[in-house]
Amino acid sequence: MSNYYYTVAALPTLRLGDKVPISEEAFLQLAADTVRPGDYRVLSKSRWGSLGPTGSPFADRILSWEWELRLELAKARLALVKFSSSQPLPESDGSHMLVDEVKTAMALDSPLAAENYLNNLRWSFIEEMSAGHYFDLETLIAYYFKLQLALRQEKFQKAAGREAFDHLYERVKENFAQLL
């Protein structure tokens, strides 16, 4: 197992909701320059939404948790609109119990509040997973997942998001009215 003291020490602190102090490209370049090639391949596969194995049980567990979260969100959203399909959603493996967290997110008063809640949930899970890891590959994987979250959340703009949501919602209502 490799330790990456220099790499981890060179990384700026990330806080969800603050301006992100490093770009994804800069992080990946630092990793490419300082991490063993095999570890870098694993690290670069550690992306939200990845479906294939990364080569790291640590990263795969985070992605499995995310899959479970997305599956529960899909179930809750389908139930909310009373949509049934001939093609059912895949079954979860039940390794993560996220039903209560999804209910909380669905009960929030705005899509932005729900996204912030879910991102905080993801951040907390990564924090739990990375406890006891300090200068190893798992530390870098956790940092990369957190960096992706922080960069995504930094793009949220309340006014622009509300405008886009309202426009999209009006189009959905119009299309739905035409179906009736």
Written in H, E and C, the secondary structure of 61-110 is HHHHHHHHHHHHHHHHHHHHCCCCCCCCCCCCCCCCCCHHHHHHHHHCCC
pLDDT at 75 over 90: no
Higher pLDDT: 156 or 130? It is: 130
Q: Which amino acid is at 86?
A: S
Per-residue b/e over 137-161, b at no fewer than 16 CB within 10 Å? bbbbbbbbbbbbbbeebeeeeeeee
pLDDT at 96 over 90: no
Q: How many domains does the chain have?
A: 1
Q: For residue 52, give both structure tokens.
A: 């294939």
Per the CB < 8 A criterion, the answer to whether 24 and 147 are in contact is yes
Q: What is the pLDDT of residues 99-120, one digit of tens each?
A: 889 999 999 998 889 999 999 9
Which residue from 44, 27, 92 is spatially nearest to 66, judged by alpha carbons? 92
Q: Report pLDDT for 1.
A: 65
Domain extent at residue 26: 5-179
pLDDT at 64 over 80: yes
Q: Which amino acid is at 57?
A: P
pLDDT at 77 over 90: no
Out of 1-10, 30-39, 82-91, which region has the weakest mean confidence (pLDDT)? Answer: 82-91
The rounded distance, in Å, linking the Cα atoms of 164 and 168 is 6
Higher pLDDT: 41 or 100? It is: 41
Phi-psi region of 22 (alpha: psi -120 to 50; beta: other; left: phi over 0): beta
Percent of the chain at pLDDT > 90 equals: 64
Q: Is the Cα torsion angle 69, 140, 50, 119 positive or negative in sign? A: positive
pLDDT at 160 over 80: no
The rounded distance, in Å, linking the Cα atoms of 146 and 164 is 26
Percent of the chain at pLDDT > 70 equals: 90
